[in-house]
Amino acid sequence: MEQSLEIPITPMLDMAFQLLTFFILTYHPMPSEVQFVMNLMPAAPATDIKAQQPEAAEANPDVPASLKTLPTTLRAGEGGTLGRITLGENEIQGGLEALKRELDVYLTDPTLPFEQTLIKVDPDLKYDALMRVIDIFSKAFSDAKKEPKLAFAELSAEEKAAQ
Amino acid sequence: MSASLSSETKAEPNLTPLLDVVFQLITFFMLVINFSNENYDQRVRLPIAGSAQPTEEGQKGVSEDRLVLNISKQGHLLINGQDLPPHQALEEVRHQATLVRRNLDAAGVKKSNDLPTTIILRADRDTEFSNLYSLITQCQASGFRKFALKAMSE
C-alpha cells in the first residue's frame, strides 16, 4: 500500500515571510555618492602668473620650484552663493562657463605651465558653490590631461575688504 | 437508493512556487542590505558634482583606513553619534589622529608625520567654508594628507 508523504510547507512560508518583512523594513536605498580625491597640502604662497625661471621663484619648502601655482579667488555673493571669481589677476565675467573657458586657456598654453591651483575662498561661501568650482577645475585639468592639484586657503579679512 | 449529492472537493493551492519567489526576494534583500550606514549620516545633504569619481572599493588614492567626518550646515561635526560644535570638533580630530598613530605604533609601522588615513569629508551643501576650512586645517596639522570630498552624482 503506497503512502504519500506530504511535507507541510505552510510554516516554512510563514517563516520566509517573516524574514522578508525584516529585510524590507531594514533596507535603506543608498543614494549614489561620488567623491573628489585629493592630497591637500598646506596652502602655498601664490606666485606671479607670468612664467618665472625656477631660480627666481619664491622659495617654498612645501612646493617644488618647478611647479607653478595658478591663484584663484572666490568671493561670496548674497546668501553665500558664488559671487566674483578671479583667476590670476583677471576677474572672470560670465560665471562658471567662462571660468571653464579661461582655465582651458591657462592649462593648455605651453608658455603658462601651471600645474596646481591655490583657491582662496571667502569664508562665507557655501560648500555647494565651492564644490561646483572644484567640479569645473576637475573637468579642466582632466581635459588638459593633467592631474588636478588643488590647495585651499581662506580669504583674510583684509583681502575680503579690498573688493 | 439515493446517491450522495454533496461531494467535498478540497482546493489545495500549490505553495511551492510561492515559496520559491519569496526566497528569491529574501536573497535579493540579503545581498543589497548594508548595515554599515552609521558613518553616512542622512542629515547631511551633499552638494552635487558631475565630474567626481564614483566611490569604489580599492580606489586609487583612497587608503583602506578611512575616517568619515560628517559636517552639518551649522559646522557641527557628526561623529560616533555625537553632535560636536566647532571647537569640540577640532579636539575630536586631534583625538582621532592620536588613535591612528597609536594603532600604527602597535602595528609596528614606521613613524611619519603624514598619516595614511583618508579623511572622507561629507559636508552639507549649506556649510560655510570657514567651518569647513578650520576642520581641514586641523586635519592637516594632525598629519592627515589624503582627503575625499563627497558629493552626489548629477
pLDDT for A62-90, tens place per residue? 545 445 788 899 999 888 899 999 988 88
* Integer angstrom CA distances of residue A4 from A1, A7, A51, A129: 10, 10, 92, 72
Asked if A13 lies within 8 A of B129 by C-beta distance, the reply is no
Cα dihedral angle (A45, A50, A56, A62), rounded to 10 degrees?
A: 30
Most B-contacting residue of A37, A100, A133 (CB-CB within 10 A), to test interface = A37
A23: which chain B residues are within 8 Å (Cβ-Cβ)? 26, 29-30, 33
Nearest to A46, CA basis, from A63, A30, A29, A27: A63
Chain A residues whose CB is inside 8 A of the B132 CB are: 127
Q: Which fold has domain A54-161?
A: Nucleotidyltransferase; domain 5 (3.30.420)
Please state the ipTM of this predicted complex.
0.73
Preferred mutation among A6, A25, A32, A33 to probe B, highest tally of B CBs within 10 A: A33
Question: How much is the CA Rg of chain A, to the nearest whole Å?
Answer: 27
A 122-141 → B contacts, CB under 8 A: 122-128, 130-132, 134-135, 138-139
Q: How far apart are CA B77 and CA B75, in angstroms?
A: 7
B50 to A135: CB separation less than 8 angstroms, yes or no? yes
Q: Mind listing the domains of chain B with CATH numbers? A: 66-149 (3.30.420.270)
pLDDT digits (tens, 9 = 90+) for A6-53: 788 889 889 999 999 998 888 877 767 888 888 876 655 444 344 433
Assigned C-alpha cell, B129: 567654508
From chain A, the residues in CB contact with B74 under 8 A are none
The Cα–Cα gap between A138 and A77 comes to 23
Residue of B nearest to A38 (CA): B147
Cβ B136 vs Cβ A40: under 8 Å: yes
A80/B133 touch (CB, cutoff 8 Å), yes or no:
no
Does the beta-carbon distance from B54 to A37 stay under 8 Å? no
Query: In chain A, which residue's Cα lies nearest the Cα of B32?
Result: A27
Mutate to test the interface with B, among A18, A26, A34 (most CBs of B within 10 A): A34
Reading the block at residue A117, the C-alpha cell is 591651483
With contact defined as beta carbons under 8 Å apart, do B116 and B67 qualify? no
Higher pLDDT, A138 or A148: A138
Q: Do A40 and B136 touch (CB under 8 A)?
A: yes
* Helix H or strand E encompassing A142: helix A127-143
CA distance B109 to B115: 11
- Beta strand B144-152 with B115-123 is parallel
Question: Given pLDDT bands bounded at 50, 70 and 90, which one contains residue B128?
Answer: very high
Contacts of B39 in chain A (CB under 8 A): none
Q: What is the DSSP string of chain B?
A: ----S----------HHHHHHHHHHHHHHHHH-----TTS-TTS---B-SSPEEP-TT-TT--S-EEEEEE-TTS-EEETTEEE-HHHHHHHHHHHHHHHHHHHHHTTPPP-SSEEEEEEEEE-TT-BHHHHHHHHHHHHHHTEEEEEEEEE--
Each domain of chain A, given as residue ranges in start order, spans 54-161
What's A83's DSSP letter? E
Place B136 in a pLDDT band, splitting at 50, 70 and 90: very high
pLDDT of B138 higher than 70: yes
pLDDT of B28-67, one tens digit each?
Answer: 988 887 665 556 777 888 998 877 776 665 555 566 788 9
The DSSP element (H or E) to which A38 belongs, if any, is strand A33-39
Q: All 3 cell numbers of residue A63?
A: 612646493
Q: How far apart are CA B88 and CA B77, in angstroms?
A: 8
Q: Note the pLDDT of residue B34.
A: 67
The amino acid at B14:
N
Q: For residue A27, give the nearest of B19, B32, B53 by CB distance.
A: B32
Contacts of A102 (CB under 8 A, 6+ apart): A87, A90, A92
State pTM to two decimals: 0.72
- Per the DSSP assignment, residues forming a β-bridge with B67 are B119
